[in-house]
A and B are shown apart, each in its own frame.
Chain A
C-alpha cells in the first residue's frame, strides 16, 4: 500500500498556531483527568490507608500483566455532573491484559463517598457490561462500594437502563459464556452484593471484604438483630458457610494473586480471523496531529493528514479517489489489523453518501472492521439536493452502516452535527467503541446556528403577537442559546453524560484503536443482511 504524502508544512505559522492551541486543549484535558483520577479529600485517603486498602488504580496496576497497556474508558464520566462529586463517575473501567487474556476491568472507587453509585455510575457500569457482551470480554469486578447513592435513588434504581441492568447484563454475560470474576476488597451492600453473587468466581479479602444485602445498621433497624460485619458477610462466613464467595484472601495482594490465577484457568476466546499484517509505526509522527487539528472548529482540514498519523506506515489505499470527494474511504492497517476507514472532508453530498454506503458494503463483504473519523456538519441541504434525493442517499448510508456485521469504531475528531452523526456511526449506532478528541463538539446544529434559528423563531412569535421585536430581548435569546449550546456541545459534556467511551489525547488514538479492535475480534462476526434500501 502506498504511503500518504503529507502536504503539511510543519514549519509553517498555521501548524505552529494549531500546535500551541491543541497543546493547551490537551493540557486542559490532562488536568481534568488527573484531578478525576487522583484528587480526593485527604480524609477519604486517610480512611483507605487506615483500612490497609489500596487505591483502586493501584489494584488495577497490580492486577494487569506488567508492561501491558490499559485502555481506560470514560475517565471523565460525570465530570460535569453532581458538582464534580463523582469523579470518573466513581468507577474505573478499562480494557487490559490479565494472565495473557484480554479482559474488561471494572473497579469501584472507595475514595469517593465510599464508592457509592451515582446515576452516571450505573450508566457507566451498564455500558461497561454492554462492551463486555458486544466484544465477549471477560469481566473482572473490583468491588468496594457502599451501594446506590440514596439521595438520587430515583435516577439510580428503577428504570430499564439503571442499576438493575447491571445485574441483568451480568446474568446474560454468564449465559453467553463470558466469564466474570469479582474481587471483593470492601463492602458489597444491597444491589452491590449481586455483583459477586452473579460472578462466576469470587475472591473476598479477609477483614475488609464483606457481602450482604443489608448491612448491620439496616439489620438492626429491620429486625433488631445485632450482628457484626464479619458474622453477617465476612470472608470466612461466605467462603466456609454460605458459599457465596469462593476464595478467602489474606490481603488485597493475595486476592489479586488468586484472581490472576483464576483468570489463567479460563479458555481464551478465539478471535475471528481478521486480516492481519505485521504492525508498522506511522511514517509521520502522531504528535503532528496537534498541528493539523485547527484552532477553530469552522476551519476545514484534510482528514488524510489525520489518517497518515494513525495508520501503519501511514499507508492508505484510497477507494474512489475521484468520486464523492467529501468522504474519504479506503483501506489501511492499525496495529496490523486491516480496517476500512471513512473520514469526512466536508459536508456529505449525494455522491459521497453513495460512496460511503458502497464502501461499507465492501468492508462487510471483505470482513473488514470499519473506522469512522468524524468531522461532519451534516448532509447537504437545499432544493437541488433534495431533488437529487439527498435524504434517500443519506438513508442508504445509514442503512448500510447500521446493518453492518463488522465491528465499527468511531473517533469524533472535530465536529459532529446533524444527521451526519448518524451516517458516520454516532453513539446510537452501536459502534463497539466511540472516542472523542478534547476539541470536539457535538450537537444537532452549531451554537451560532441554533441561536440564529431561535432568534428567528422569536421574531416570528413577536410579529404574530403584533409586537415590535425588541433588539435587547433578541440579543439575550441569542446569547443564552449560544452559551447553553456551547456547554452542551463540548466534548466534556458529551463524555460526562457517557455519550462516548472517553476523551482521547489525539496522539493516543492509534493505541486506543489497536486495543479496541483487538478486543472486538473476540465476538464472532455477525450475520450479513440488510433492510430494504430505498433506491
Chain B
C-alpha cells in the first residue's frame, strides 16, 4: 500500500517501513529515516528546510531553492480510467435530454457540464468524468433514456493519446 506521488509525469512511491524509534519510509525503493516538522524535514540525519503550499490536488514543496510540484496519484481514478469507466456518461435516472452544452468533437474538462437532463420535473446537469473529447452523443435533445444508459461517450484515453502524438 504505497503512496504514489507524481512529479513531472513520473511516479514516485513512498511506503511506511517502521514508525519507531523513528519513522522509516521506503522512497523509490530506498529506505530513509525521516522526521517531518513544520518547515523542516530530517532525512537520514540531515535537515532540509522547506516551504509547502497546497492548492487542490497540487502539493508544492520547495527545498533548497527548488520547487517540486507534486500530485498524489489517486489509484481509484487510475484504475477506473484504465478500465474505461471514465469514458462514458451514464444517466443516473430515466428521463429526457433537455439541452446539450457540447457537441461531438468538443474538448471537455472534468466537471464541465455536457448535457442537462430532466427527470421527474427536475433538471440535472451531467458533467464530464475527466478531461477529454466528446466522441459520440448517444441521446440527442428531446430523446429519452433509461437509468444507467450511456448518453455520451468520450474518446477513450489511449486513442486520444495516439491522436495527439500522431
Contacts and interface: CB of A to CB of B under 8 A. Distances in A.
B79 A66 contact: no
Interface stretch (B15-23, B89-97, B109-117, B158-166): B15-23
A254 B79 contact: yes
Given A250-B79, A250-B80, A254-B76, A66 B85 contact: no
Contacts, number: 23
B165 to A, nearest CB: 28
B17 A257 contact: no
A318 interface: no
Interface string A251-277: 101100100000000000000000000
Interface string B48-81: 0000000000000000000000000001100110
Secondary structure of the A contact surface, majority rule: loop
Secondary structure of the B contact surface, majority rule: mixed
A41 interface: no
Looking at B1, B18, B76, which has the most chain A CB atoms within 10 Å of its CB?
Answer: B1
Given A250-B80, A250-B83, A250-B85, A66 B16 contact: yes
A317 interface: no
Contacts of A254: 75-76, 79
Given A62-B1, A66-B1, A253 B79 contact: yes
A67 B1 contact: no
A67 B85 contact: no
Contacts of B80: 250
B16 A253 contact: no
B17 A67 contact: yes
B3 to A, nearest CB: 10
Interface residues of A, number: 9
A423 B154 CA distance: 72
B85 A257 contact: no
Interface in A228-261: 250-251, 253-254, 257
B141 to A, nearest CB: 29
Contacts of A67: 16-19, 24
B17 A253 contact: no
A253 B19 CA distance: 24
Nearest to B15: A66
Interface string B25-36: 000000000000
A254 B78 CA distance: 11
A257 B15 CA distance: 15
B86 to A, nearest CB: 12
A257 B75 contact: yes
Given A66-B16, A67-B18, A67-B19, A251 B79 contact: yes
Looking at A67, A250, A253, A254, which has the most chain B CB atoms within 10 Å of its CB?
Answer: A67
Interface string A404-432: 00000000000000000000000000000
23 contacts: A62-B1, A65-B16, A66-B1, A66-B15, A66-B16, A66-B17, A67-B16, A67-B17, A67-B18, A67-B19, A67-B24, A250-B79, A250-B80, A250-B83, A250-B85, A251-B79, A253-B75, A253-B79, A254-B75, A254-B76, A254-B79, A257-B75, A257-B76
Q: Which 6 A-B pairs have the closest CB atoms?
A: A66-B16, A67-B16, A67-B18, A250-B79, A66-B1, A67-B17
Given A62-B1, A67-B18, A254-B76, 18 more contacts: A65-B16, A66-B1, A66-B15, A66-B16, A67-B16, A67-B17, A67-B19, A67-B24, A250-B79, A250-B80, A250-B85, A251-B79, A253-B75, A253-B79, A254-B75, A254-B79, A257-B75, A257-B76
